[in-house]
Amino acid sequence: MTPLPRLAALTLATAAVGLGLAAVPAAGSAAGAPSSTPAPVPTLELVSRATDGTQREAHADLAGSAAAASADGRYVVFATSGALVRADRNEQSDVYLRDTQADRTVLVSRTPQGRAGDGGSVEPSISADGTVVAWTTSATDLLTGRRDRNGEVNDVVVRDLRTGRTVLASVDGRGRQHRAESVASAISGDGRHVAVQTFAALTRADTDEREDVYVRDLARRTTRKASWRPHGRDITQPHLVGTISHDGRVVTMGDDRHAWARDVVRGRTTLVWSEGIDPDSPFPMGSVGRPAVSGNGRYVAWPSAQVTGHGPTAGRQNVWRRDLRTGEVVRVTRGLGGTAPDGDSGLPSLSFDGTRVGVSTFAGNLVAGDPEAGDGEAVVVDLVTGTTVLASPGPEDPEGIYDESARTGIAISADGHTLVYESFDDHLVAGDTNGWGDVLAWRG
């Protein structure tokens, strides 16, 4: 890993908003509590590489803001068409896991015989302990003990790395597959629940033939529909799955103008945010996207250009966080000195306790001294200490080539100290010479 210099910090006007939150299990202390140990020196590591450290000439991807790292940041999952092990000979995208402590990369999307699957695999997410991985695949030969009966239709599958078993998650309550696309999975921290976005009708209550979000309980082998509006109405417009809480109880969804959080145990949906249609708005509609929920299920973060009453926004897309218990909304992204950000921010992800937020931003004034201000950066906002740090630090490229980071994939670990993101910037870590988008892991 490449050690980085101390990063500049920005004091926000939102200190103390996280008081009284549950502690992150891996942290061992209450959020925001003073520590006698010095802050770790930030590091940045190239993740999408083979065990011997070599790269391939291929792009590496994440699954939006779904969990890409284990709670402590040791294990990271990603997808790439680059063959990082000998068994990968399918010349398609596959899912890999990188053990950053053991410097080992393993193929996750593999058949029972150990080969890469006969179809592409993308959009991985990982459990808190790093032992269970969910992803989307068109492969037909990955399952353990059963046949894939819907051909090359995309399914969501789950692999337990301890047992080596791969099972379907995009199935109905009887375990049956359907001939309809299932994508964009998000696995819970406990590794037991998987949120799935699908066009398949996996329950009798689904009668609209549109895409919906379901939650599969792998232990009880039950499937529940989650995409309900408040008061039990169906969400009929196209929408996207967000993330899922550690215990699988709360799952988020969003479309271009709404963000919802569904408690699948209580059967209750909260409308987290709704944007109006303003023809005079300086920012185009459709800025909400996929909202994220904290591991403890209490907080939801989302991007929007229309939230008002929380300081200057200059019409930019900002990231916001709502407390589902109290209804309090705070602005996550703030410019230096409390000014309005000068660029858009999005793709939020939350630590377990919701106090640290990973953000993709094109704003150049969130952190002082950013040499690539406005080029697309990854930042971590701490809502307890009121600081924002740059997680994609690097020199300005004199040639002005495409060097964005975190544009389509970024996710923070449950303990809030590892941020995984995609990057096209080959100036961030030593040895990045393939000229393709890579997956990096920042720790701090």
Asked if the model's pLDDT at residue 33 lies above 70, the reply is no
Number of domains in the chain: 1
- pLDDT tens for residues 196-246? 999 888 888 887 778 899 999 999 999 999 999 998 888 888 888 999 999
Model confidence band, residue 9 (pLDDT cutoffs 50, 70, 90):
very low
> What secondary structure, in 3-state letters, does 272-316 show?
EEECCCCCCCCCCCCCCCCCEECCCCCEEEEEECCCCCCCCCCCC
pLDDT for 287 equals: 62
- The CATH number assigned to the domain holding 235 equals 2.120.10.30
pLDDT, tens only, 47-76: 999 999 999 999 999 999 999 999 999 999
Q: Is the pLDDT of residue 6 over 50?
A: no
Say what the pLDDT of residue 200 is.
87
CA distance 317 to 226: 27
Is the model more confident about 76 or about 176?
76
Q: What is the mean pLDDT of the chain?
A: 86
CA–CA distance, 359 with 362 (Å, rounded to integer): 10
Question: How much is the pTM?
Answer: 0.87
Residue (of 10, 101, 79, 41) closest to 417 by Cα position: 41
Beta-carbon count within 10 A of 424 CB? 18
Question: Nearest-CA neighbor of 27 among 413, 439, 426?
Answer: 413
In this prediction, residue 29 has a pLDDT band, given cuts at 50, 70 and 90, of very low
Buried b (16+ CB within 10 A) or exposed e, 198-228: bbbbbeeebeeeebbbbbbbbeeeebbbbbb
CA distance 243 to 253: 8
Structural domain for 412, as ranges: 2-443
How high is the pLDDT of residue 69? 98
- 354 confidence band (pLDDT: 50, 70, 90): very high
Query: Rounded to whole angstroms, what are the CA distances from 314 to 44, 219, 283, 310, 377?
Result: 32, 48, 10, 12, 19
pLDDT at 309: 57
